[in-house]
Structures are given as structure tokens and as C-alpha cells.
Structure 1
Amino acid sequence: MEEKYLDLLAEKYDTEEKVATEIINLEAILNLPKGTEHFVSDLHGEFQAFSHILRNGSGKVKEKIIDLYGGKLLKEEIDSFGALVYYPEEKLKAFKQSFKTTDALNDWYEVIIERLIHLIQYASSKYTRSKLRKALPSHFIYIVEELLYKVDLLENKKPYYKKIVQQIISLNQIDKMIIGLCYTVQRLVVDHLHVVGDIYDRGPKPDQIMETLINHHSVDIQWGNHDVLWLGAFSGSKVCLANILRICARYNNLDIIEDVYGINLRPLQNLADKYYGDHPNFRPKRQASETLTDDEFLEITKMHQAIAIIQFKLELPIIKRQKNFNMAHRAMLSFVDYDKETITINSKTFPLFQPCFQTVNKENPEVLLDEEKAVIDKLLFAVQHSEKLKRHMDFLMKKGSFYLRYNGNLLIHGCVPLDEEGNLQSMVIDNKTYRGRELLDLFETTLRRCYKRKNVTCDFDTDLVWYMWMGEHSSLFGKREMTTFERYFIKDKTTHKERKNPYYYMREDEEVCRRILTAFDLDPDQGHIINGHTPVKEIEGENPIKANGKMIVIDGGFSKAYQKTTGLAGYTLVYNSYGIQLVAHQYFHSKQEVIKNGTDVLSMKRLVDKELSRKQVRETNVGAQLIKEITLLKKLLETRYLR
């Protein structure tokens, strides 16, 4: 294999000089400072807030502007310049309307171009010219490079540079160039983006988040439980699909299904109209800005009931046939006394609140009506034939994983399941025991195999994908049970409690975190575990930095549904060559407010871990790959050219 690879290298580097030049180049790159990593988590369809945080680099864009112009410009000017970089199209329009004369506008253009060029020079200081070139606006690369690398020590070329800018203005290309330069700044400030799970569900625009990620220059995704639910549905799991539709109905988000992904919900609506009426616990959650007519509100309520009952039915056969899942206690429809309208859970009987079991066969509750079966079959066919959804799911699969070891850190959405003693929790499948990294690898292999086939809707693989959503040993879920049924039908809130895996209180212990890092072949002295999944209740004094800095939880409430309990609107993490910094965000109102006032909605920054010496590329995942390439190039040089 190595010989074949050397043959391929020889085709690309066909002279001794070319090989030597590439070795010199790569060796030099190893000594550059590492690029800035940006971590976000639990976006839950909140595109506007995510877009803003991406544009401002969690405050890093403003930091660089202040580094350059602090003390030289007023705070209002710095804020205004920052807003231009974040939203160049809209801010440019506002700026242009404020000038009374063309000369005044042209003078402003010259100043802004100079500031943007300086900002790009500063933001690109740790990149090669080649990498910077790829980030420049494609139609203006030559012109921008002339301005970036200008040399006017003897003033011989000052008129030349000034004329370039004047010609850009006179040819009406200046707006396009400014917009391109602003997006170049955004790209340079953050070298790589990590999305630590849960792009989908609750919020209204996960599709726009996906489009943004598809167009991002460098990104990876650690799947969250909601992401795997969507992947499972697209892979053929009907019970995953039912869960998706139920959640969308609950959060008044069915538009994402029908309008965005083109999936016809009329069959479900017809079924719901036939069998269901109003029910207070199935009414959709409303956002302050949303308006629904009474008829729409009732329609969603009925559809919510219809798909929830289908979901509960579909769960029963899986629970029965997969004994290793140990989920017999979740066969809820089997515990109902349909005549008395009660349910017995753990030997205790509870009255049911407005049970809506019109389509349930009390002798065999798992059986779907022919109408229900037809509905779920039609919906699955539509899901698997949605071109836009396929594009998004393909990307999610390509860029995603259950966990990622990156630059010494472990990125994982939920947890590493532990037992009560803090040891890796085991799960037996086909008489083989899995735990820790091996268990997560099994989950990922199964999901990828299931996704690749798509035409199999009922077998162990699709059952295990559903288990990943709500199973006790799933790293994505990390609880003993998901009490969806109880929340709908039982008023006694003691039944609503979901018992968390011991991981969620043991992760406060530094020694436990160090053992987990070791189990994933990471250095416990240098590494960190970065989680999402569980909203940090900052309002109650919870600290997102745990275990003496070994554990960082960055789900602080992007989703509006969580913000009352968290007290803020999400955390992000920034890791550059100087160390790791946690950033908390206040509620994002609108980009119009940012454009008008230049606000960044950042409330605080906390230093998590400061590097004793500035970290270089050679100490990163990218560096490890470059070192392998250098080794092969040296071997090519020795065996093919220096013999």
C-alpha cells in the first residue's frame, strides 16, 4: 500500500525540486500557531442565533477589531465596524443612506477598505499565503493581494494603491468587494467549527442551519439524540419517524416537514380528524411571535395525538423482540387497564388523564389500524424520497460521528455511560459485552449500515437505532427512561422524572473524567471532555466548567424552550493557540438590533485552560497528518530521486 501511495505522490511531485519544496512548506506549517476552533451545541433549529454567533466568532471578530483600533476609534465606531463585518449587506445599505454626498461616501469607502485590509492582515497572521488566498473573495483575489502585500516604504507605489481603490469605486464594484472582505474576516477568525450535536427539533429552521454547515469551509458534527432520530427515520425506522412528527407537532413545527422538506401530511391529518378531538396535553407549544387560528391550533392538537399513539404502538414490538434492550418497563400501552382508565407502573396504579386510545386494541395494543399503517408507510416513503432532506441527511452522515477525538479533547454530545461505581457501563448484544468506546463504535457502525441500506424497515439495526434515541445505555440519551407517555396521560409528576445515568453527577469528579479520557486513548493531563445535551442551569448557579476544568458542558439554552430554566441563551467554546475560553450568550433578539446598535449579546468569558506555551500546528490532529505526509515525502525523495 505504501508503494502504491508513493507512486501516486511521484505523479504529483515528479521532480526532486517539487518534493523538496513541499517538504519545506509542510515543515514550516508545523511551526505556525494552531488555528482557532469554535464549539457550538444544541442548536435545535435556532438559525438566527446560530448564524450570529458564527458571524462574530463568539466575540473573536470584535476582539481583533479592538486589538487593532482600541484607543483609535470610539466604542460606537468599533461596534458599527463589527456590525459591518457580521452583516455586510444590510449594514452597507444603512451606511450609504447616511451620506448626503457622493464624495463623502467615496471617502468613507476608502477608509473602510483600508480598515478591512488591515483586519484581514491581522486575522491571517498565523496562516500561509496559500490558505489566505482560498479565503479571499474569488472575483477580487488579485486586487486584494496587491493591497494586502503592498510595499510603499519609498512612497513609489502609493498612487498605484490609491488608484486601485478609486477604480473599484468608479466601476461600482466596491460594495461587492467590501461584502467579500467581511466574509473573509469571518472565515479567517475561526479555522474550524465543531457542532456538538442536536441541530434538529424544537426550533423552526434546522434546514437553514444545515445549509450553512454545508457551505462552511471546515466543520465536523458529533451527532445528538435528535440528529440520530432524523437519520434513523431517513434510514427506514418508522418509530423514529413517528417521534420526529410528534416533536414537530408538540413545538408547532410541522412546517419543517411539509413546507421545507415537501412531505405531505394530509394522510395524517385525515386520520386525526376521524379519530381525535381537543386534548389540553397535546396542544402545541406557542412562541410569543407565533399566530395560529383556532382551527389550526385544533388541527395540530389532533395530529399530535394521532402520531403519538402510532409511536407508542410501534415501540411495543421492538421492546418484546429485543430482550437485550431491557426496556420491558417502557411497554406503556401494555400496562393500561382500558376499562378502568388506569395504568399500573412499578406495582402502583395511577388514573389516566383524558386517555385518547380510540384506535388501540385493548387485547393487542401494538396492532396498528390499517389506516394507521397506511399513513406511516406513506410518510416514510415521502421522507425517503425528499431530495432536500436526502441532501441534508447525507451531509449529516458524512460529517458526523458519535464522538470525536480532536486535538487532545473528547467531543461527545451526551455521555459515556457509567455504572454506580463510576466504571464504564456494559451492554450485552448477541452474547458479547460492549462498553465505553467499543459500545459507541458499535452504535456508529450500526447507524451507518442502516443508513446505507434504507430499504429495511424492521430488523435489529433499525431497532438499535431507535434504542440510541431512548435506551438506557445510549450515550446520546443517558437516562433510565423517557417518560413521554407519563407526561401526556398521568398528572402525578413523580412519574415524569427521568433518572439520569451516573455519568451526569460523576462528571463533577476530576478522577472520573481522567479515566474516561484514558479509556479513549487521550492524555488526561492535557485533554478535556466537551459535552452538550443537558442544559446548564446557570440561573440556579450551575457551573458549566466541571471537574477542575476537565469537563465543559456547552448546552446553555440555544433553544428558546429551555431559556427560562437556563437563564441564558447558550454557551460556546473557543480554543485557540493560547488556550480555551468559554463564552456565554444572552438572548438574541434580531440581526436588525445588531445592525442598528452593534450589540454582540455576549455576557461573559471565562478562561477554562491557558496554554503554558503557545500551541503549534504540529501538536494538533492536522499536524499529525502533516507529519505522516512529510515522512512519506522524505521516503519518496530518498528512494526515487536521491538513489
Structure 2
Amino acid sequence: MEYKIHPKEISQEKVIENYKFLKLLSNQFPSIETASTEIINLEAILNLPKGTEHFLSDIHGEYETFKHILSNASGVIRRRIDEIFSDRLENHQRQELATLIYYPKSKLSLVKKEEEDIVKWYNNNLVFLIEIARNLASKYTRSKTRKTIPPQFQYIIEELLNVNENLMNKEAYFEAILNTIIELGRADKFIITLSTLIQNLAIDRLHIVGDIFDRGPSADKVMDELLKHESVDIQWGNHDVVWMGAAAGSLAYIAIVLRISSRYNNLDTLEDGYGINLVPLMHFASEVYEKDNCAEFSPKAGKENLSKGQLKTLRQIHKAISIIQFKLEGQIINRNPDFNMSSRTILDQIDYQNGEIIIEGKSYKLLDSNFPTI
């Protein structure tokens, strides 16, 4: 790096002008040595390969799909496996190795049922995994890699990543570590930990671009997974804002979340994921719409897994919360005439006697005109 001004040429006036800033810096770098070390470190980092940036959007609560994409880093891991082992492993072997990294628990369960020489399999795959992890870690500083390593086996993994097993004095050391891991019955845990490390090293930073929540069945699990990630930033989407509003206590947003969840047969996220009791809503809907089949309020997804009674109850919930949402939205619009949204007061646009709704001056026949709560 070329400096425009040599440190010795900085004037006293410049020092005084930037005194507050320099004072703050001196807390972190109290000596020339510490400041020089940081400059050297930052200059060196600039010459490392740029880490992979991973962008994901519109997750919509689809945890299984999200987890798969995250596990394989959108193909980054498989490409790295091909680069490293293309001349040593057949295609199907590379695919097996990739699957082990993506789904270590499931793959280990299958392997232990099918593999005759499990010790040899452990040895081979531990070596492969360490080589992949070492390759991915090469674009980071040791400090950053250390922070990425899961706490389990941290010291051992750091040793394996930084030892050259091809050196005469280190070969026995490397093999002894792997053999001891297997002998102590810790190979499964070690493989799972290495696989997690590889997944984390494959992506330097994860960017979520909107809509974690909405119609999918497990947005809560997606959030839990993101909390575990080492480096992530989120740009919230409109659906996320709705859920935030509901969490903050907005009645209209609560109704919207409930309506969308019932529309996509996704009430389990609220009940199981967040422990919200929906029994009162179910009782209310079943009582008010007891004789109403609510056919126009069938869920958009998952109804094939419901019994006839469950489907009817879900339809009733969907209809009940839809009417509640329209009422709450109408109240907000009426309280805020400056919104200029009077055309969106849905219930005010209905001709209940003739079962019609007027939209932009045109009259449309309603498919459902049973409104006992209006």
C-alpha cells in the first residue's frame, strides 16, 4: 500500500484536528506495535480470496427447502468436492461425500447399516472431510476460521486443519488423532461437527432478502437456523413486517397472520412453533358457522391430509378470521381518512340484501353471502 503522506509528515494541526478520533483509536491500539500489527493484518486480509456471498429470498417458511439450500450452499460445496477429488473419486463417490456433508446424521445412519468395514469408512471419510474443510478455510484468517469451528472438538479440528500430514514428523500425529477419535466412539459426532464446519466455511456471509415468513409451515425453524449462522444479515420483507406487527400487538396484523395461516393450512406454526392457543378461535368459528360449510374458504394447501371434519373446521376458522380482518381494517381506514383508502373498506361495499359487492362502480355477485356476525 502506498501512503500519500508519511506518518512523520503529518502536521500537528492535523493531529489536533483529529484528536478525538485518534484518542478513540488509541484505546484499541495503544502502541506503535499494536497499530502496526493491525495494519499488517488488514493488508494481508485484502489479499485473501473474497469469500462467497450467499443471497436467499422468499423463503416463506419453507424450512426443508431452505435447509437444503443452506446445507449445500447452492452447489458451492459440490463444486469444491469436484475440484478437489475429480481425479481421485468417481462421480458417485463424490455425490456420496456431498450427501454426507449435507445430511450427516441421516447418511451416517444408512452407512452403519450397509458398510461392512465401518472403521475403514470412518478413516477415509474423515480424511476427505478434513481436506475439504482445510481447502475452504484457506481463504480465511486462522482467527476467523477458529471462530467458525463449532465448540465441540475445537482444539482437535484446529490442529487437523493446520497440520501437514505429509510431513514425516506429522504423519503419525495426524493418523493417531483420527484413530483415537474412532476408537473412542466419537467418529459420528466428529463427522457431524466437520460437516457443519464445512457448511459454514462454504459461505462467508448469508444475505436474506425478504420474506422469511408467510405461507410455509416452519418459519420458526428458519429463524432458529438463522440465529445459529455465523454471519447473516436480513432485509425484512412485507410478510415479515406483518408478522412483526402481529407480535407487537396490532389486532389487524394478528388477524392477517391468522387468515394467511389458515388459508395455507399452516396454523401449526402458531400453535407448535410459538405456543399460541387457537382453541378459542376454533370454538368461536365452529359455533358461529356451525351450519355453514364455508366451501369458498378451503385451504390452498395441505387439505388432502385433513379429515372431512378437520377441513370443515379449518374453513370455518378461515372465514371467521377473514371477516374479523375486514372489520379491523375498516376501523383503521375510518380512523385515518388521510389514508384515502375508503374504497378498501370491503364490508361497506357489500349489498347484503342482494348478495353483491360493488368494486369501482361495478357490481359483482358474491360466492358466499352468509354473514351472521355483520
Query: Which TM-score applies when normalising by structure 1?
Result: 0.53
- SS at the partner of 2:305? coil
* 1:60 positional shift: 0.5
1:183/1:335 Cα in 2 relative to 1: closer, same or farther (>3 Å)? same
1:173 equivalent to 2:186? Answer yes
Cα displacement string for residues 73-93 of structure 1 (whole angstroms, at most 9, x for unaligned residues): 111100000000111122122
1:53 equivalent to 2:69? Answer yes
- For residues 65 and 239 of structure 2, the distance between their equivalents in structure 1, rounded to whole angstroms, comes to 19
8 Å contact kept, 1:45–1:204: yes
1:284 equivalent to 2:284? Answer no
Query: Which residue does 2:11 correspond to in 1?
Result: none
1:293 equivalent to 2:307? Answer yes
* 1:3 positional shift: 5.4
Query: Which residue does 2:35 correspond to in 1?
Result: 19
* 1:260 positional shift: 2.2
The counterpart of 1:263, out of the listed 270, 276, 291, is 276
1:57/1:280 Cα in 2 relative to 1: closer, same or farther (>3 Å)? same
1:43 equivalent to 2:59? Answer yes
1:185/1:280 Cα in 2 relative to 1: closer, same or farther (>3 Å)? same
8 Å contact kept, 1:137–1:177: no
Q: Tell me the amino acid that sits aligned with residue 350 of structure 2.
A: V
1:235 equivalent to 2:251? Answer no
Larger Rg: 2
Query: Which residue does 1:67 correspond to in 2?
Result: 83
1:345-356 pair list within 5 angstroms: 345-356=359-370
Query: Which residue does 1:525 correspond to in 2?
Result: none
Further displaced range: 232-241 or 72-81: 232-241
8 Å contact kept, 2:57–2:211: yes
8 Å contact kept, 1:88–1:182: yes
- For residues 296 and 238 of structure 1, the distance between their equivalents in structure 2, rounded to whole angstroms, comes to 26
- For residues 105 and 8 of structure 1, the distance between their equivalents in structure 2, rounded to whole angstroms, comes to 57
- For residues 153 and 265 of structure 1, the distance between their equivalents in structure 2, rounded to whole angstroms, comes to 62
1:259/1:140 Cα in 2 relative to 1: closer, same or farther (>3 Å)? closer
- For residues 189 and 75 of structure 1, the distance between their equivalents in structure 2, rounded to whole angstroms, comes to 20
1:2/1:90 Cα in 2 relative to 1: closer, same or farther (>3 Å)? farther
1:507-522 pair list within 5 angstroms: none
Among all aligned residue pairs of Structure 1 and Structure 2, give the percentage whose two residues are the same amino acid. Answer: 46
8 Å contact kept, 1:250–1:304: yes
8 Å contact kept, 1:336–1:342: yes
- For residues 352 and 157 of structure 1, the distance between their equivalents in structure 2, rounded to whole angstroms, comes to 79
- SS at the partner of 1:139? coil
Q: Tell me the amino acid that sits aligned with residue 42 of structure 2.
A: L
1:217/1:274 Cα in 2 relative to 1: closer, same or farther (>3 Å)? same
- For residues 280 and 167 of structure 2, the distance between their equivalents in structure 1, rounded to whole angstroms, comes to 76
8 Å contact kept, 2:165–2:174: no
- For residues 284 and 169 of structure 1, the distance between their equivalents in structure 2, rounded to whole angstroms, comes to 51
Number of equivalenced pairs: 356
1:89 equivalent to 2:102? Answer no
- For residues 82 and 61 of structure 1, the distance between their equivalents in structure 2, rounded to whole angstroms, comes to 7
8 Å contact kept, 2:333–2:342: yes
Query: Which residue does 2:5 correspond to in 1?
Result: none
* 1:243 positional shift: 0.8
- For residues 171 and 274 of structure 1, the distance between their equivalents in structure 2, rounded to whole angstroms, comes to 61
* 1:133 positional shift: 1.4
- For residues 167 and 138 of structure 2, the distance between their equivalents in structure 1, rounded to whole angstroms, comes to 24
Query: Which residue does 2:343 correspond to in 1?
Result: 329
| 5+ residue gaps, structure 1 | 361-643
Query: Which residue does 1:212 correspond to in 2?
Result: 225
8 Å contact kept, 1:116–1:182: yes
Cα displacement string for residues 504-533 of structure 1 (whole angstroms, at most 9, x for unaligned residues): xxxxxxxxxxxxxxxxxxxxxxxxxxxxxx
1:218/1:269 Cα in 2 relative to 1: closer, same or farther (>3 Å)? same
- For residues 231 and 155 of structure 2, the distance between their equivalents in structure 1, rounded to whole angstroms, comes to 24
* 1:9 positional shift: 4.2
Query: Which residue does 1:316 correspond to in 2?
Result: 330
- For residues 287 and 179 of structure 2, the distance between their equivalents in structure 1, rounded to whole angstroms, comes to 70
1:203/1:273 Cα in 2 relative to 1: closer, same or farther (>3 Å)? same
1:106 equivalent to 2:122? Answer no
* 1:119 positional shift: 0.7
- For residues 94 and 105 of structure 2, the distance between their equivalents in structure 1, rounded to whole angstroms, comes to 18
1:3/1:210 Cα in 2 relative to 1: closer, same or farther (>3 Å)? farther
| 5+ residue gaps, structure 2 | 1-16
1:448-597 pair list within 5 angstroms: none
Q: Tell me the amino acid that sits aligned with residue 347 of structure 2.
A: L
- For residues 169 and 198 of structure 1, the distance between their equivalents in structure 2, rounded to whole angstroms, comes to 43
Cα displacement string for residues 153-182 of structure 1 (whole angstroms, at most 9, x for unaligned residues): 652332222222212222222222221111
- SS at the partner of 2:265? coil
Query: Which residue does 1:548 correspond to in 2?
Result: none
8 Å contact kept, 1:278–1:298: yes
- SS at the partner of 1:39? strand
- SS at the partner of 2:169? coil
1:350/1:99 Cα in 2 relative to 1: closer, same or farther (>3 Å)? closer
8 Å contact kept, 1:37–1:192: yes
8 Å contact kept, 2:56–2:207: yes
Cα displacement string for residues 587-623 of structure 1 (whole angstroms, at most 9, x for unaligned residues): xxxxxxxxxxxxxxxxxxxxxxxxxxxxxxxxxxxxx
- SS at the partner of 2:207? strand
Larger strand fraction of residues: 1
The counterpart of 1:158, out of the listed 171, 175, 187, is 171
Query: Which residue does 1:129 correspond to in 2?
Result: 142
8 Å contact kept, 1:83–1:91: yes
8 Å contact kept, 1:275–1:358: yes
- For residues 219 and 206 of structure 1, the distance between their equivalents in structure 2, rounded to whole angstroms, comes to 16
- SS at the partner of 1:138? coil
8 Å contact kept, 1:39–1:196: yes
8 Å contact kept, 2:265–2:300: yes
Q: Tell me the amino acid that sits aligned with residue 113 of structure 2.
A: Q
* 1:237 positional shift: 1.5
- SS at the partner of 1:281? helix
* 1:4 positional shift: 5.8
The counterpart of 1:343, out of the listed 343, 354, 357, is 357
Further displaced range: 348-357 or 52-61: 348-357
8 Å contact kept, 2:60–2:214: yes
Task: Using CA pairs under 8 Å that are at least 6 residues apart, name the structure with larger relative contact order, 1 or 2.
Answer: 1
Q: Tell me the amino acid that sits aligned with residue 324 of structure 2.
A: I
- SS at the partner of 1:157? helix
Query: Which TM-score applies when normalising by structure 2?
Result: 0.89
Q: CA RMSD in A?
A: 2.0
Query: Which residue does 1:630 correspond to in 2?
Result: none
- For residues 264 and 142 of structure 1, the distance between their equivalents in structure 2, rounded to whole angstroms, comes to 45
- For residues 333 and 151 of structure 1, the distance between their equivalents in structure 2, rounded to whole angstroms, comes to 73
